[in-house]
């Protein structure tokens, strides 16, 4: 699956899409593929402050639990409630199945994240090990 070039990526396999001061966060196709069948997504409450590099929730497949790391700092304004009942959407289309929306505290933080091309290379290298 192609990695949208307008997104930014973390080495912990989250993606971030920025529209003005709003950031939308999900996990990458590479992440869902390594996790396998996703059966549970745990997200923070609206209003929660998240900090870049810190965990903000978790995603579980049948076989494993994986933490979600915030690509940027900000305040959670919306969560994707649909994932409570249909977590498999993340497997089906990871780059559309967003998890949280945040009001960015410092939009410049996004500049430090990986581009699609760099992330793709990073993920391929990691998968090769």
Interface stretch with another protein, choices 8-16, 17-25, 31-39, 103-111 (CB under 8 A):
31-39
Closest CA to 99 of 129, 65, 56: 56
Q: Which residue stretch of 6-14, 38-46, 96-104, 118-126 sits at the interface with another protein (rule: CB under 8 A)?
A: 38-46
When binding is defined by CB under 8 A, the residue of 58, 103, 106, 115 that contacts another protein is: 58
Q: Is residue 37 part of the contact set for another protein (CB under 8 A)? A: yes
Burial per residue of 77-110, b for 16 or more beta-carbon CB atoms within 10 angstroms, e otherwise: eebbeebeeebebbbeebbebbbbbbebbeeebb
112: which 2 tokens? Answer: 């430090």
**CB atoms inside a 10 Å sphere around CB 66:** 17
Decide if residue 46 touches another protein (CB under 8 A): no
Contact between 84 and another protein per CB under 8 A: yes
Report the interface residues with another protein, using CB under 8 A. Answer: 33, 36-37, 39-40, 42, 58, 60-63, 65, 84
């Amino acid at each position: 699956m192609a990695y949208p070039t307008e997104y930014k990526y973390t080495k912990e396999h989250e993606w971030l899409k920025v529209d003005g001061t709003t950031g939308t966060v999900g996990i990458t196709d590479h992440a869902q593929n390594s996790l396998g069948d996703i059966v549970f997504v745990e997200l923070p409450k609206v209003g929660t402050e998240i900090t870049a590099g810190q965990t903000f929730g978790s995603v579980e497949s049948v076989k494993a639990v994986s933490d979600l790391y915030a690509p940027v700092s900000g305040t959670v304004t919306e969560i994707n409630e649909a994932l409570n009942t249909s977590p498999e959407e993340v497997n089906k289309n990871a780059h559309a199945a967003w998890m949280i929306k945040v009001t960015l505290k410092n939009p410049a933080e996004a500049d430090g994240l990986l581009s699609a091309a760099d992330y793709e290379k990073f993920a391929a290298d990691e998968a090769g090990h």
